[in-house]
């Protein structure tokens, strides 16, 4: 999908991969209970990104996470208490399901953040 700004420049919103295939974009928002736990959780996302390169699904031998980023939010009433936002991009819904149910690195992330975030986190995903 493309949109044009008032200046006439085109920007990609969502989008397709290099082959023109729609990807799955996933956004997860966390309310971290203690401010001191924010950075360790962000650090665990770095581990997850690195291990994604090692622990790939058997079907094609490529990483199943195309991109992953996690950020601390800027304190603002509009954030409604959410203190971390993670953005993850998958090739397809099947890879996202693998992430949720089989990914060892994701399991470690969930274990390390257990009791440190309010549950459930707000998770949304879409094609784009």
Q: Nearest 5°: phi and psi at 60?
A: -135, -5
- Where is average pLDDT lowest: 22-26, 47-51, 110-114? 47-51
Q: Do residues 114 and 35 lie in contact, with contact meaning Cβ atoms separated by under 8 Å?
A: no
Residues 123, 1: Cα–Cα separation, whole Å: 22
Average pLDDT, the chain: 84
- At the topology level of CATH, where does 23-127 sit? Alpha-Beta Plaits (3.30.70)
Q: What is the pTM of this model?
A: 0.79
CA distance 55 to 37: 26
> What local confidence, expressed as pLDDT, does residue 11 receive?
42
Every domain of the chain and the residues it spans: 23-127
Query: Are 73 and 84 contacting, i.e. CB atoms less than 8 angstroms apart?
Result: yes
Question: What pLDDT shows up at residue 20?
Answer: 65
Instruction: Dump pLDDT digits (tens) for 40-66.
Output: 999 999 998 888 765 565 556 677 899
What is the rounded distance in angstroms from the CA atom of residue 95 to the CA atom of residue 90?
6
Give all strands of the β-sheet with 65-72 in edge-to-edge order.
65-72, 84-90, 24-30, 122-127
pLDDT digit string, tens, across residues 69-103: 999 999 999 999 999 999 999 989 988 998 999 88
Higher pLDDT, 58 or 23: 23
Q: Which residue has the higher pLDDT, 48 or 30?
A: 30
Report the alpha-carbon distance of residue 1 to residue 24 in Å, rounded: 14
């Amino acid at each position: 999908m493309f949109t044009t700004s008032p200046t006439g420049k085109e920007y990609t919103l969502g989008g397709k991969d290099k082959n023109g295939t729609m990807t799955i974009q996933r956004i997860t928002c966390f309310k971290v209970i203690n401010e001191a736990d924010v950075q360790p959780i962000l650090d665990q996302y770095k581990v997850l990104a690195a291990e994604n390169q090692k622990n790939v699904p058997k079907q094609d031998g490529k990483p199943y996470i195309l991109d992953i980023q996690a950020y601390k939010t800027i304190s603002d009433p509009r954030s409604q208490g959410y203190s971390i936002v993670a953005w993850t991009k998958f090739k397809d819904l099947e890879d996202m399901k693998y992430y949720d149910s089989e990914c060892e690195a994701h399991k470690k992330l969930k274990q390390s953040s257990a009791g440190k975030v309010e549950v459930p986190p707000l998770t949304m995903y879409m094609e784009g």
